[in-house]
Amino acid sequence: MAAIEVTAAQVALVDPIKAIVKSYLAGSTITKGQVVAQATDGSVDPADASSGLGYLFEQVRGIALNGGGTGQAIDVLQDGEVYGFTIAALNCGALLHLSDDVGQMDTALGTGDVYLGRVTALADKDATKVCRIQIIFSEALAAE
């Protein structure tokens, strides 16, 4: 597996007007840039693909745009483009999956197959690569 590195201080929306962002309460400590999933009580926690077919990957909600502790509001990117991830070496169109490592994205499938998005390029002179996150709730369950 090739976990994708994140620089929390650089995590930001590419185009806030076009992004879909929802706020949730943190169920535990969350770091900006982590992949989060919704717990049965409605809060979000860092997600992973190896939690034994439990909610932590079946209910993935997106990428945390801010960090916080238990009970604090966490803005979560559900659909849109985001900066802050080390993906320059990846090809545009490369798939992004939930990692077996808590809160991380990966280029390879985790134990549970959870698709998060793709690598895409911006229309700038450098064709800067960013993560295009697209959480599709009807497809958020792991393959059986």
Residue-level pLDDT, tens digit, the chain, 144 residues: 578 999 999 999 999 999 999 999 999 999 999 999 998 899 999 998 886 555 555 689 999 999 999 999 999 999 999 999 999 999 999 999 999 899 999 999 888 788 999 999 999 999 999 999 999 875 544 444
Both tokens of 64, joined, read 């945390």
Would you call 88 exposed, middle or buried from its count of C-beta atoms within 10 A (0-12, 13-18, 19+)?
exposed
